[in-house]
Amino acid sequence: MIFKRFLPFITVLLITLSGVSFSASANEEKTKEEGKFNATEVIFGHIRDSHYWHLFDINGEPVAMPLPVIIYDNQKGFSFFSASYFHHGHEAYNGYMIDPKNQMKEKIILENAANGQKIYDFSITKNVLSMLISVVIMIWLMTGAASKYKKNGVMKAPSGFQNALEPVITFIRDEVAKPNLGNKYMSYMPLILTVFFFIWINNLLGLLPGGANFVGNITVTACLALVSFVVMMANSNKHFWSHLLNPPGIPFAIKCLLVLIEIMSLIIKPVALMIRLFANILAGHIVIICIISMIFIFGALSKFAGWGFMPVSLAFTMFMFLLELMVAAIQAFIFANLTAVFIGQAIEEGNGHEEHHAHEASH
């Protein structure tokens, strides 16, 4: 039973571990080709978004899947073409090119910026594609599990993926939703579950070798934080706002200050959500790629040093992968939990709360 429950985790673990040697060998090719190992480029190449899905290099030629580029130009309208026309950033196409100076992003810019011409990049990048894959996986898994409940009836013992899903869902329900959202928790469960699984599955996909650094992108976490902030605001009640803008039982001067702080904290909450998730996942990705890069940094000094450091580096990487597997779930849980906490604060009814606060304030 225990084995079956953890089967998905173990599978992911095995795949990621097998990927360690794979990505290492991919980097080795690069080292041979350039003769000089550029750690910064490797690291940013791994964590940045891209218009290619880069897999590995063979004899200096990158094996990468070009992804569709969608650009809205305020003069030319929409244009839709494959990123292969950029020839890995070496050439311009249709007046667009990849910014060669920006190492942290593959930003599409205009070759010759005309007056007032502006472009908006809606490309299906590596991150977008990775997310779409995760969405497909998610919908497939969850609707599959749901159809089992329909098919087998409610009272039949769960089987297969239901076994993996049920403890997680009941955990979210009993540990996240119920304590934070009170008796209205059921109406927020779909959101919290979606947030949790969306982050978790994308984290796990990001840990696969060649995976995208999707959750470690501030855009993504900003989007998720915005969703939870909008839900929080949309459901906030009178009690929440009256408490925030006019805290009871406090002298006027302090009240002004307090309201200011409260409004700031209101904004800081989603920002903290955004940065926490972004930084945690990005850091994990950077640390893993750094530790692998160390093999090649040592290898650049001397071939023996590189080979000698390899076991150490692999051991560290394995440790980091295990840690990241944990972080993937923990950060998803934290995000979901804090979303629940914030919504819970916004929808809380002030039953006897006023007196409590007034009492506190009098001390």
Partner 1 sequence: MDLLTPELGLFFWTLLAFLAVFFILKKFAWGIILKSLTERETGIAESIAAADRVRKEMSELKNENEKLMAQAREERTAMLKEAKDTRDRIVNEAKDAAKAEANKIVADANQQIQQQKMAAMTEVKNEIGKLAVEVAEKILRQQLSGVDAQSAYAELISENAKLN
- CB burial of 220-249 (b: ≥16 within 10 Å; e: otherwise) equals bbbebbebbbebbeebbeebbeebbeebee
Instruction: Give the nearer residue to partner 1 in terms of CB position, either 193 or 338.
Output: 193
Q: How far is the CB of 206 from partner 1 (least distance, A)?
A: 14
In three-state secondary structure terms, 124 is coil
> How far apart are the C-alpha atoms of 64 and 168, rounded to whole Å?
36
> How far apart are the C-alpha atoms of 179 and 284, rounded to whole Å?
30
Residue type, position 121, single letter? D
Residues in contact with partner 1 by the rule CB under 8 A: 47, 49, 70, 102, 104-105, 107, 120-125, 127-128, 131-132, 135, 138-139, 142-143, 145-146, 149-150, 154-155, 165-166, 169-170, 173, 186, 189-191, 193-194, 198, 217-220, 222-224, 226-227, 282
Q: How far is the CB of 7 from partner 1 (least distance, A)?
A: 19
Backbone angles phi, psi at 240, to 5 degrees: -60, -45
> How far apart are the C-alpha atoms of 45 and 196, rounded to whole Å?
27
Cα-Cα-Cα-Cα dihedral of 24, 28, 34, 39, to 10°? 30
Instruction: Give the nearer residue to partner 1 in terms of CB position, either 26 or 212.
Output: 212
Q: How far is the CB of 131 from partner 1 (least distance, A)?
A: 5
In three-state secondary structure terms, 153 is coil
Q: How far is the CB of 99 from partner 1 (least distance, A)?
A: 10
Instruction: Give the nearer residue to partner 1 in terms of CB position, either 222 or 250.
Output: 222
Q: How far is the CB of 143 from partner 1 (least distance, A)?
A: 5
Instruction: Give the nearer residue to partner 1 in terms of CB position, either 158 or 210.
Output: 158
Residue type, position 77, single letter? G
Q: How far is the CB of 123 from partner 1 (least distance, A)?
A: 6
Q: How far is the CB of 44 from partner 1 (least distance, A)?
A: 9
Instruction: Give the nearer residue to partner 1 in terms of CB position, either 269 or 285.
Output: 285
DSSP-assigned beta bridge partners for residue 120: 72
Instruction: Give the nearer residue to partner 1 in terms of CB position, either 116 or 190.
Output: 190
Instruction: Give the nearer residue to partner 1 in terms of CB position, either 216 or 306.
Output: 216
Q: How far is the CB of 125 from partner 1 (least distance, A)?
A: 7
> How far apart are the C-alpha atoms of 262 and 167, rounded to whole Å?
37
Task: Report CA-CA distances (Å) from 92 to 22, 121, 126, 344.
Answer: 32, 15, 20, 51
Q: How far is the CB of 71 from partner 1 (least distance, A)?
A: 9
For the chain, what is the radius of gyration of the CA atoms?
Answer: 25
CB atoms within 10 A of CB 114: 9
- Cα angle value 324/325/327 (rounded, 5°): 55
Instruction: Give the nearer residue to partner 1 in terms of CB position, either 77 or 352.
Output: 77
The residues, any chain, with a CB within 8 Å of residue 271's CB and separated by 6 or more, are 225
Instruction: Give the nearer residue to partner 1 in terms of CB position, either 56 or 335.
Output: 335
The residues, any chain, with a CB within 8 Å of residue 120's CB and separated by 6 or more, are 71, 72, 73
